């Protein structure tokens, strides 16, 4: 008989019976995170806008969690929800998460990402049950100079486009709150909250149907038996499966809940260097998994500025957390494209199967959070 995964012992068993709030629970990352937390025995709550995309991974999974559909910018509703559920840890993922739409709606992007995050921090300050906050931003928070080495956690924040700038601003705000209200030096003296921020590169995996993302664009075109037009095949990104950074976020959450105040800081979670590939390379690998995928390369007449090269240095996580990527780029593409292929051809969802496979592979590598 195949060995079953004991989810409740992962991350030192810290999430079993914990009350966890995930903002953006029905988004791409949020759905995978909320479901993984549920598998580990956490009592999961969600706060997010009603999803506009169909199909929707969260609706397909239909996990047994309580949630509210509301806007982060509605501080009164957010405060009341914190008061109602009394979360012990908050994973803040809700955001306007795309570069190109941020050009069309910069006000909405800045207000959601900056003021929405501010409201989360303030709600946490007012709620005595909160012990830890893991604030999810982006690798695009860094001032991108398109150099060939990775950005470290102490590199300057920046942002060319409205989305990237909003994430840089959120990181500055996180640092301010960590210094002003959640200072680790004052932990258990003047306050009881540890706050960390986490940054990841391009994340892929099953269940993402968002507009203007490479893999979803490929999948949606393939489902219609159409070719997808790739606008920037030479752009290089640090591709990783969604479960990779989520394991890092959960790892940081564990350390904060265990009252390790030295982990209340910024953290990068990215793939190994061999997973930094061009868009063209990713499309070629995808076609090997799903033969029906058809690609055309074309110019984007309405192109906005986007970074061509952006990498993270994850030495801090490797050294202090003993966190490491689990799947190489071939595994990542195979799991991602196979998830969609199985969904469209067999109406089956591989989410739990993929989490189990990921945990087993991590355990085989003796990665710390599996012990």
Is 7 part of any domain? no
Give dist(CA 122, CA 125) in Å, integer: 5
In the structure encoding, which two tokens stand for residue 328, read together? Answer: 């190489």
Residues 6+ positions from 217 with CB-CB distance below 8 Å: 211, 228
Is 165 part of any domain? yes
CATH number at residue 212: 3.40.50.720
Is 76 part of any domain? yes
Geometric angle at alpha carbon 21, from 171 and 271, rounded to 5°: 50
Is 188 part of any domain? yes
Is 2 part of any domain? no
Is 132 part of any domain? yes
Residue 308: DSSP 8-state: S
Task: Give me the long-range contacts of 252-256 (CB less than 8 A, separation at least 24).
Answer: 252/134, 252/196, 252/198, 252/321, 253/11, 253/14, 253/15, 253/89, 253/91, 253/132, 253/134, 254/11, 254/12, 254/14, 254/15, 254/369, 255/321, 256/89, 256/131, 256/132, 256/133, 256/134, 256/194, 256/196
In the structure encoding, which two tokens stand for residue 295, read together? Answer: 């690609």
Range of the domain at 185: 16-300+309-365
Give dist(CA 365, CA 131) in Å, integer: 31
**Residue-by-residue pLDDT tens, the chain, 371 positions:** 356 899 999 999 999 999 999 999 999 999 999 999 999 999 999 999 999 888 999 999 999 899 999 999 999 999 999 999 999 999 999 998 878 888 989 999 999 999 999 999 999 999 999 999 999 998 888 888 777 778 888 888 888 899 889 999 999 999 999 999 999 999 999 999 999 999 998 899 999 999 888 999 999 999 999 999 887 888 888 899 999 999 999 999 999 999 999 999 999 999 987 888 889 999 999 999 999 999 998 765 555 555 556 788 999 999 999 999 999 999 999 999 999 999 999 999 999 999 999 999 999 999 999 98
Bridge partners (DSSP) listed for residue 105: none
Residue 161: DSSP 8-state: S
- Using CA atoms, how far residue 25 sits from 15, 21, 33, 327, 368, in Å, is 17, 9, 8, 24, 26
Is 257 part of any domain? yes
Is 328 part of any domain? yes
In the structure encoding, which two tokens stand for residue 87, read together? Answer: 């979360």
pTM of the predicted model as reported, rounded to 2 decimal places = 0.94
Number of structural domains found in the chain: 1
* Residue 256: Cβ within 10 Å count: 22
Give dist(CA 354, CA 11) in Å, integer: 18
Among residues 130, 151, 149, 127, the alpha carbon closest in space to that of 140 is found at 151
């Amino acid at each position: 008989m195949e060995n079953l995964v004991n989810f409740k012992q992962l991350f030192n068993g810290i999430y079993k019976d914990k009350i966890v709030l995930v903002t953006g629970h029905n988004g791409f990352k949020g759905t995978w995170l909320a479901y993984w937390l549920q598998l580990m025995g956490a009592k999961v709550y969600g706060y997010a806008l009603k999803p506009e995309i169909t199909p929707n991974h969260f609706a397909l999974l239909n996990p047994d969690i309580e949630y509210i559909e509301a806007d982060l910018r509605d501080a009164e509703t957010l405060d009341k929800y914190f008061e109602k559920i009394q979360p012990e840890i908050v994973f803040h993922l809700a955001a306007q998460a795309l570069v190109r739409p941020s050009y069309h709606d910069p006000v909405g992007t800045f207000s959601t990402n900056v003021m929405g995050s501010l409201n989360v921090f303030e709600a946490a300050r007012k709620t005595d049950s909160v012990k830890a906050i893991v604030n999810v931003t982006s690798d695009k928070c860094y001032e991108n100079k398109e150099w060939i080495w990775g950005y470290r956690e102490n590199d300057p924040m920046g942002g060319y486009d409205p989305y990237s700038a909003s994430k840089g601003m959120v990181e500055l705000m996180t640092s301010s709150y960590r210094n002003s209200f959640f200072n680790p030096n004052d932990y258990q003296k003047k306050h009881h909250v540890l706050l960390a921020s986490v940054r990841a590169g391009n994340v892929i995996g099953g269940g993402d149907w968002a507009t203007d993302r490479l893999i979803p664009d490929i999948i949606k075109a393939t489902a219609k038996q159409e070719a997808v037009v790739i606008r920037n095949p030479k752009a290089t990104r640090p591709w990783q499966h969604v479960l990779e950074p989520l394991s890092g976020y959960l790892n940081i959450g564990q350390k904060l809940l265990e009252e390790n105040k030295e982990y209340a800081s910024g953290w990068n979670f990215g793939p190994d260097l061999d997973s930094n590939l061009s868009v063209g390379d990713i499309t070629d690998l995808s076609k090997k998994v799903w033969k029906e995928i058809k690609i055309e390369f074309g110019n984007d007449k309405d192109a906005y500025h986007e970074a061509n090269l952006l990498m993270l240095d994850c030495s801090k996580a490797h050294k202090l957390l003993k966190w490491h990527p689990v799947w190489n780029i071939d595994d990542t593409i195979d799991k991602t494209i196979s998830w969609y292929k199985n969904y469209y051809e067999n109406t089956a969802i591989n989410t739990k199967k993929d989490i189990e496979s990921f945990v087993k592979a991590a355990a085989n590598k003796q990665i710390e959070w599996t012990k």
